[in-house]
A and B are shown apart, each in its own frame.
Chain A
Amino acid sequence: MEVTKKPKIKSIPYEEFKDNETLEQLVKQLNEGGTNVVVGVLDDLIDWGRSNSLWPLTFATSCCGIEFMAVCAARYDIARFGFEITRNSPRQADVILVSGTITHKMAPVLRRLYEQMADPKYVIAVGGCAVSGGPFRKSYHVVQGVDEILPVDVYIPGCPPRPEAFLYGMMQLQRKVKVEKFFGGVNKTKKEGKEEQA
């Protein structure tokens, strides 16, 4: 099968999204072995279901958490995407939005939360602190980016990112989910490999 899987998102054309290169590279990697047509269609169906039903874990440590609440609130209404069912139990959540600073004391807790989540699970690093330590890069007690401890799927920069930027980040994640493959467990091995590095 040809490697031209271009995930569609309503209202934003593919070309206007940032970082298409990484996505295309991912598609290429995933499709290296070639795909059966039937399996491909099934994959698309499941990806469609998953990408439209990413339930976030209510996890917030600081400022970005308030902006996340604003995203869930009436004006930005994350429910339009079907993501409003924020789960408090990590077992039922699909995506963890790391919104806020992760300190050394919090890092093992976050890691444990991540491990408690059921597959498929995704991580979004929200805001400067989660992306790179942000304002606290020189601090002795702050993790310099959550990718040190978790495999991150999408980075949303900002301090804190405005609600639209949150939604944009969620759409980026949707795009990533849409190119994934359910059968064959390709994504899973990839992720585990990433974890070993970390």
Chain B
Amino acid sequence: MNNNNYFGTLFDGLRSLGTGLKTTMKEFFTKKITEQYPENRKELHISERFRGTLTMPHNEANEHQCIACGLCQNACPNGTIRVVSEMVETEDGKKKKQLVRYEYNLGSCIFCQLCTNACPHDAIAFSNEFENAVFDRSKLILTLNKPGSKVAAKKS
């Protein structure tokens, strides 16, 4: 190895190390980008399309849009949704399917949106709620329709 090469490498090396040191030192004094969850829980912004959990929107009268057709259950790739329905007779004598329980397993949901795509009445939607960790797996099986709720009357 000749001398030029020896010292050349040495100085080039030192210079490159210097550049690295300079870069980190610059960052040392830059404002930090950390978002402090949970301290910022109140003002935390999550984009509205984020899929955190499946919900069934209810209106003020405790009514939802689900007609228990089961399309979402069929569309689901891994059996996350279970629609329990019963046949009831309406006032005018017709038989009609009615939702009893809309079971949704948050623990196995893959948020593929096939259920919401399949739903003809927009009865289900994804919400932003992400604070879902629990101690017991059975707590992840949710019933989406609220107790005492019923299907909203058809808009005509």
Q: Do chains A and B touch in the complex (CB under 8 A)?
A: yes
Contacts of B35 in A (CB 8 A): 75-76
Q: Are A152 and B133 in contact (CB under 8 A)?
A: no
* Complex interface bits, A143-161 against B, C-beta within 8 A gives 1, otherwise 0: 0010100001111111101
Contacts of B132 in A (CB 8 A): 18, 156-158, 161, 165, 168
From 108 to 156 in chain B, residues with beta carbon under 8 angstroms from any chain A beta carbon are 108-111, 130-137, 139-140
- A152 with B77, Cβ < 8 A, contacts A76-B34, A168-B131 known: no
Q: Are B106 and A77 in contact (CB under 8 A)?
A: no
8 Å CB contact of A156 from B41, B133, B139: B133
Q: Are A75 and B34 in contact (CB under 8 A)?
A: yes
Residue of A nearest to B38 (CB): A11
A interface size (C-beta, 8 A): 44
Which of A's residues lie within 8 Å of B, judged by CB?
9-12, 18-19, 22-23, 26, 74-77, 80, 128, 131-138, 145, 147, 152-159, 161-165, 167-169, 171-172, 176
From 13 to 60 in chain B, residues with beta carbon under 8 angstroms from any chain A beta carbon are 32-39, 41, 44, 46, 50, 52-53
Q: Are A80 and B133 in contact (CB under 8 A)?
A: no
B78 within 8 A of A: yes
Of B39, B108, B110, B136, most A-chain CB atoms within 10 Å: B108
State the Cβ distance, A160 to closest chain B Cβ, in Å. 10
Q: Are A19 and B139 in contact (CB under 8 A)?
A: yes
- A176 with B135, Cβ < 8 A, contacts A155-B107, A159-B110, A162-B50 known: yes
B105 within 8 A of A: yes
B8 within 8 A of A: no
Contacts of A76 in B (CB 8 A): 34-35, 37
State the Cβ distance, A63 to closest chain B Cβ, in Å. 11
Query: Once bound together, how far apart are the Cα atoms of A132 and B137, in whole Å?
Result: 9
Contacts of B108 in A (CB 8 A): 128, 131-134, 137
From 52 to 70 in chain B, residues with beta carbon under 8 angstroms from any chain A beta carbon are 52-53
What are 25 A-B residue pairs whose CB atoms fall within 8 Å in the complex?
A11-B41, A18-B132, A19-B133, A22-B134, A22-B135, A23-B135, A128-B109, A131-B107, A131-B108, A137-B78, A137-B108, A154-B135, A155-B107, A157-B107, A158-B130, A159-B110, A162-B130, A164-B38, A164-B44, A165-B52, A165-B132, A165-B133, A168-B131, A171-B38, A172-B133
